[in-house]
Amino acid sequence: MKTKMLNFAVLVAIAGIVACKGSGSSSTPADSAASDTAAIKTADTTTKEIKPKGAAPAWAPNMKPEMQAVIEKLESYGDKPIPKLTAQEARKNHTPTDAVMDLMKDNNIPKPVFKVDTAGKEIPVAGGSIHARVYTPKSGKSVYPVIVYYHGGGFVIANLDVYDASANVLAEKTDAIVVSVAYRLAPEHKFPTAHDDAFAAYKWVLANAASIHGDAKKVAVAGESAGGNLAINTAIKARDTKIALPTAIIAVYPVAGSDMNTKSYTKNAAAKPLDKPMMMWFVKNYLNSMAEGKDTRINLVAANLKGLPPTTIITDEIDPLQSEGMMLADKLKAAGVKVDSKNWDGVTHEFFGMGALVPQAKEAETYAVDQLKKAFGM
């Protein structure tokens, strides 16, 4: 999804955000300075209590107070709704990441420092190349497991910086290298460009793991929202092309279906930061035609899921995508895949990574890290 944005919980966390801030994925600051942005998301201190200013919104009466404070801050910017904008305009909107950072500043929550180094890499793809940012823990090991990470944003918005926090926290807490992939965005690059780029990046990591101090036999894939879809599709294509399967899959509120009349779509049609009109806007920008919504690369719940590696699905209550994420977990289990899944109530799409402010985000971050460590045998 285009607007995936926002990350983890209580001052140790940080993760990705599927909402976009700034220009597309090809336009990012120096990789070595990226951690400055992510660092604002989490800190290794006690979380300060964050309270909302008003009553819970009618569309989410049971929203957790910290989550509500983030949404209030996001709405305070007064940006035009994304469905009323072009993709280029939408990429300039404030994101949940902005809201988290501003709330931390407002409440004097310190900016953490990650024990992670970053460097840029260019990955060849059909028609050119894409950028990737490599996050390497400073723990001093000679070889690390690798996580290929795909950001959110509906295949249309967001970039590596918006999800810098997710990559940093996964690298530091899992003690693994994270390769964050700046796949090409729509509508400049229509379906299936993002999917093809995601798979090309995975193959590049398998072939070049040693050059970044990675272990080619321990490569997981992970992503949020649209990125969760890309992670699962990458594993499916690895299976179908008979190359090494990922060690594990982490999919956070993944785009997994084409039915916009599910229970959660109906319940959360007006939710923030992701609502039904925004999802429709993403689809229209990425797909060449609405009929492509039935393609199993989009409609994962109808895909052949047999033979995939252990998969973790994270969902949240206040999210149009909740139902399809839960359905995907059930479909994976029915296909014989080892599946772990958890849902968090009272939080919205993009909560993953808001660890500096939202306790439930911290829990989700810890859960993802533990699942990866288990898969890597750590």
- Catalytic machinery residues: 225, 319, 349
Packing angle of the helix pair 164-174, 359-376 (nearest 10 deg): 50
Residue with tokens 């939710």: 271
Within 13 A of 132's CA, how many CA atoms are on the CB side? Answer: 27
Within 13 A of 121's CA, how many CA atoms are on the CB side? Answer: 21
Report the alpha-carbon distance of residue 120 to residue 89 in Å, rounded: 26
Within 13 A of 283's CA, how many CA atoms are on the CB side? Answer: 22
Q: Where are the beta strands (DSSP E) in the chain?
A: 4-5, 18, 116-125, 128-137, 144-150, 177-182, 214-224, 249-252, 311-318, 339-348
